[in-house]
A = this chain, B = another copy of it.
Amino acid sequence: MPETGSRGATASAPMSRRERKKAATRQAIADAALRLFLERGFDNVGIREIADAADVSTTTLFKHFPVKEALVFDREADLEAGLLAAVRERPPGQSIPAALREHALRHRRADADSDPRFASFLELVNSTPALRDYHQAMWLRHTAALAEAIAEESGLPADDPACTALAHFALEAPRVARAHDDAREALIRAFDLLDHGWRALTSRT
């Protein structure tokens, strides 16, 4: 599988040869892994095999990726920026939960549209329990950052548990929605719950 295109990790700061080589190795590993996974399924490809395909030792592989699941979510780090931006740069008058809802919906739409390779990627993730779980766990790691952004935007104290709660619930919402036939509708409804609750909490201060 050739490079997925131009949208590599946040711009290309001039990298030294060392950094370039390191990045290349990492890419080679991730590419080989994804290709094999798509061909034969996550559970039917061994670590050693991936290492072979990428022509590195398993030791090297694990220096780049802490666990097997991480091979799949190579450049998933910069999603946090979009998340925070959705809150911080929301249109005036829009509530924070509403902004998060819109962001989630936008995300869904983007997924549906984009190229077929990405579609099969999604199918791989959603059909492999280990990957679903790992992805959700990764996603939840943005809770603290999101909570902070929410606190700032709402004027609440930075450690107000309500901010953490809203952040956490909002990040869990897609997972809730996925369990329903009409995921889009479910997502909206889940965020409605949060929106009304949030309004009530913040209005009576």
Contact = CB atoms under 8 A, between A and B. Distances in A.
Interface of A: 133, 137, 159-162, 164-166, 168-169, 172-173, 175-177, 179-180, 185-187, 189-190, 192-201
A176 B186 contact: no
A189 B176 contact: no
Contacts of A160: 189
A133 B160 CA distance: 24
Nearest to A137: B133
A192 B201 contact: yes
Q: How many copies does the complex hold?
A: 2
A183 B201 CA distance: 19
A168 B176 contact: yes
A180 B193 contact: no
Nearest to A196: B200
A161 B185 contact: yes
A88 to B, nearest CB: 21
28 contacts: A133-B137, A159-B180, A160-B189, A161-B176, A161-B177, A161-B180, A161-B185, A162-B193, A164-B176, A164-B186, A165-B176, A165-B190, A166-B193, A168-B172, A168-B175, A168-B176, A169-B172, A169-B176, A169-B193, A192-B197, A192-B201, A193-B197, A194-B197, A195-B197, A196-B196, A196-B200, A197-B200, A200-B200
Closest 6 CB pairs of A and B: A197-B197, A196-B200, A161-B186, A165-B190, A193-B197, A161-B189
Nearest to A185: B161
A167 to B, nearest CB: 9
